[in-house]
Structure 1
Amino acid sequence: MKLRPSVGLDDLRKYKVVVYPHPAILAEETIMLLNEYVQGGGKVVSGARTGYKDETGRCRMVPFPGYAAELCGIHLEDFTRIVGTVKPALVRMVGEAVGLEKAVAEGRQADLLSVNRTSVYRPMSEKQTSAENIQIMHRIDEIYMKHPYYGYRWMTTTLREQGFDVNLKRVRRLMRLMGLEAIYPKPNLSKRLHARYCRPYLYLLRGLTIDRPNQVWGIDITYLRMGKGFMYLFNIIDWYSRKVIDYELSNTLEKGFVLKCLRRAFRSCRPEIMNSDQGSHFTNADYLELLEKENIKVSMDGKGRATDNSRTESDISDR
């Protein structure tokens, strides 16, 4: 007999035992029917994956075995990867708690959870930057702010003069970790004009009288030195009122946090002109398409014109 929607409780009562192997997909109506059958004295034998999927084939977002927990008499308190000092999962069967580390060997636990045995026997060690490296990175940051044209060789020489015991490889690795490199004229500067880059726009603010809010917004990204590493701050400032429209923090320089902040700001108001530098965040297609969709004019600092976006940068440094 198959448990079709037409099968009722009277049909099941004809049998003392119902064997239902591997009913992974169980509708709530079927579970209620089986519960009534069991409460009436019947017995149900089912597989290990009973009821963990709904009618659409998706896993239920409830503790395993889902709505069949009362029917099976099993309730899984928690499930997690058993690594290091993490407390193992507890399974309560008929009101009694059993620790998996006592009932099941570690090798068997790894097989059941599809986890590599090596990760169970050898606790994972989280790599952290040492306090000494943090101190060196802070000093590198201070030197780089004064001398952005220093590469890792000059940086190593300067650090040694200040009493730090470092070599070239260590300084190079830390500067790469911080995303710092010497600023100097490089060949192939037309790379930004290739297909994967977007051509910079003109600077629209020269000679423009800014006399009302939301006429011009300025945007920029700066990095903040933290106790262990750096955070990146994206800021939107109204040039007329100097009001911070919105901001977003990120621990990476991916473009996503810039677009997220802009979309959030556009829900309340929009500028006529958006001014920025020619950084990769502001010359990529996604950013330009967003401004075009919102009918916002794009303005970018001129090449070699460090003061064109001075209002935005000075506001960030003041705050």
Structure 2
Amino acid sequence: MQGRERRSFTEDYKRQAVELVMSSGRSVPSVAKELGLRDSVLRRWVDKVRQEPTSAAWRPTTQATPMSADQAAEIARLRQENERLRMERDILRKSIANLCRNPDMSFRFIEDHRNMYPVRLMCEVLEVSPAGYYAWRTRPVSERTQANATLLAEVRQVYQDSGGRYGSPRIHAALTSQGRGTSRGRIERMMQRHGIRAIMAPPRRVRTTDSRHDLPIAPNLIMRDFTAPAPNRVWLADITYIPTAEGWLYLAAVMDLFSRKIVGWAMGDHMRTELASLALTMAIQQQRPEAGLIHHSDRGVQYASHAYRQALTTARITASMSRKADCYDNAPMESFFHTLKTELIHHRDYQTRAQAMRDVFAYIEGFYNRTRLHSAIGYATPIEMERKAA
């Protein structure tokens, strides 16, 4: 029996994992499971940080100002009224596209959401009687209705587990892997009927590639052949940006083309060569590739710099670069950044770079590499692909 592979972690990785525990209030076992770590390893990192004087930054230092009984009562009343208005708004938002004043559809909506909202409130908003709903509820349920209800619950569970990021193709793939035989078209129709949609957002573009330099340019060894026979044969690298109230946060990432796993990453308030080098160092440290690996990137000054080329040479890695101003030559990396932004970044409003760093770390290490199903590799996860090839 093959022993468990020993993983190696950079100090940046450890720091992000600890911040995920200390800043989110989540338990060590919960975060460890998400990141694929042993509880004891993560707890050791957390204990080490807590013993440092700087760890006090994670503890609240202010106390709430006492309020009078009248103020507390008024706040409680406003909260109750606000909660009722919120529920009414949610009920209308979730139901208006599908109900069309059809009592049966209204009753089905109430049944599906009875654990979320009060029945009488839903009846009032949808203009049906509670008596009519309870009479409908006692009618015999057909086998088809029961099957649809079961499938809907399974679809919602997969959708929830993905953080709302999966559309019908990935939900269908996830259910198929669980032995649930149903067509993709049926799942798509069910999701449309119940307003279940993968989160999406329009991209915003910022220039991250500066190819206006006289540094050496490596030949394009990939030529848009985005396949690899095994892990650590071809890596792709690129840099993207994340908006915060403090300014841009830049993310440098390295992807293994075979498994689509993000094997190295680094984040900072700049996109100088050091940032790209940190991501490369993490990838080399964690993957320990053999000689002959191809490293493909754009022609940006970060990747053409002497320091970066020297790091590749030292690790016996061969450089490859895209043609000028051609993003399609590095399409899988562009796809990853698009996915990151549509599934996470565009649905957040980061006040600080630290908040964004914690979120991106959790997305890459806890979701993208370990849980997310990738269409390019047969709806498997990067970790599964890597382990299959071991």
TM-score, normalised to structure 2, is 0.32
Q: Which has the larger radius of gyration?
A: 1
- Name the one with the larger strand percent: 1
Which structure exhibits the higher relative contact order, with contacts defined as CA atoms closer than 8 Å and separated by 6 or more residues?
Answer: 2
TM-score, normalised to structure 1, is 0.38
